Amino acid sequence: MLPIIHVLMILIADSGSTKTDWRLMEGKKEISQVKTKGFNPYYQQMDEMVQEIETGLVPVIDSSLVNSIYFYGAGCSTPERQKKISDALSPYYKKSEISVHSDLIGAARALSGNQPGIVCILGTGSGSCRYDGKNIVKNIPSLGFILGDEGSGAWLGKKMVTDYLRGHMPKRCIETINQELHIDKEIILEQVNHKPMPSRYLAGFARFISDHIDQTYFYQLLFDSFTSFAKNYIIRYANYDKYTCHFVGSVAFHNQEILHQVARYMGFKIGNIIQSPIDGLTLYHSKRK
């Protein structure tokens, strides 16, 4: 009788507040991948996360194939919130060893591998850390989109809709918003004050802003937001100019030219800029197997 061969497969997840990328790996070989809504245990209730696992993940990724799950996510910086993710996944992936980490650790591993640097997130939310090649040695807390998240999609969206509602932008910009977005005061206030995940809604305006940087207002909004990010999340680290700063997130990826301009203005060095950490995380974990 031939021996039974047990194939070891790992499931890697990179989750922001807007979306989650899942990738199933067998050694260095990608087996399948899927996108679901984002998971953020800081804002979301357990039943909302469980529903997305049931409808978006389980039908695609067979639980019997998965030996280990590595989940990296926004809002997963404390043991309590890490446990919420683990508790949501474990009933469906009972045979899997589940490891939950913050999105900053995920970004550091994806961007910098085993090399030191300053790792920055600029997506729906924002944040940064100083990474020594293995661990986060310093972290400036983002504080969420109400108190912080400078430079993020949610920050950009909040600034834009506030200026729009108050009329604090050029007439041409107001006309462009009216023509393309079809929003008004009641729609915005309902989404922000009464619907779940307002940061996700506000971040939805970030791509619109990027697409209209030919208008001075939108260009300046991006430049000022990235400058605010640098002042709060980069130059606060001792000897920041000695480190390479890496960026991950759709806001950074789609606005690289302006980000480089801010880097020159603020005096920091940019290394890698990627849209999503999933490829870097795949490489990181494939080397460890």
> Domain limits of the chain?
9-108+278-288
Share of the chain above pLDDT 70, in %: 95
Contact 249, 243 (CB under 8 A): no
Q: Which two tokens stand for residue 261?
A: 């301009």
User: pLDDT digit string (tens) for 28-58?
Assistant: 666 678 889 888 887 778 888 888 888 888 8
Report the alpha-carbon distance of residue 237 to residue 50 in Å, rounded.
38
Tell me the mean pLDDT in the region 242-260.
94
Which residue from 230, 266, 79 is spatially nearest to 140, judged by alpha carbons? 230
Q: How many other CB atoms sit within 10 Å of the CB of residue 212?
A: 17
Report the alpha-carbon distance of residue 79 to residue 101 in Å, rounded.
9
DSSP code, position 79: H
pTM of the predicted protein model: 0.77
User: pLDDT digit string (tens) for 108-157?
Assistant: 999 888 889 999 989 888 889 999 988 899 988 887 777 878 999 999 99
Mean pLDDT of all residues belonging to the chain: 88
Q: Is the pLDDT of residue 2 over 50?
A: no
- Residues in CB range of 74: below 8 A, 6 or more apart: 15, 16, 17, 38, 40, 42, 103, 124, 125
Distances (CA, A) of 248 to 112, 120, 245: 11, 6, 10
Give residue 113's identity as a one-letter amino acid code: G
Report the alpha-carbon distance of residue 250 to residue 160 in Å, rounded.
18
Tell me the mean pLDDT in the region 271-281.
88
Q: Which CATH architecture has domain 9-108+278-288?
A: 2-Layer Sandwich (3.30)
pLDDT (0 to 100) of residue 29: 64
Query: Which range, 1-15, 93-107, 149-163, is most confident?
Result: 149-163
pLDDT band at 177 (very low <50, low <70, confident <90, very high): very high
pLDDT band at 4 (very low <50, low <70, confident <90, very high): very low
Tell me the mean pLDDT in the region 266-282.
90
pLDDT (0 to 100) of residue 140: 86
Q: Is the pLDDT of residue 3 over 50?
A: no
pLDDT (0 to 100) of residue 289: 52
Tell me the mean pLDDT in the region 270-289.
84
Q: How many other CB atoms sit within 10 Å of the CB of residue 79?
A: 9
User: pLDDT digit string (tens) for 201-222?
Assistant: 899 999 999 999 999 999 999 9
Sheet with 9-15, side-by-side order of all strands: 29-37, 19-26, 9-15, 68-73, 97-102
Report the alpha-carbon distance of residue 200 to residue 223 in Å, rounded.
21
pLDDT (0 to 100) of residue 41: 83
Q: How many other CB atoms sit within 10 Å of the CB of residue 225?
A: 26
Pseudo-torsion of CA 277, 283, 284, 288, nearest 10°? 150
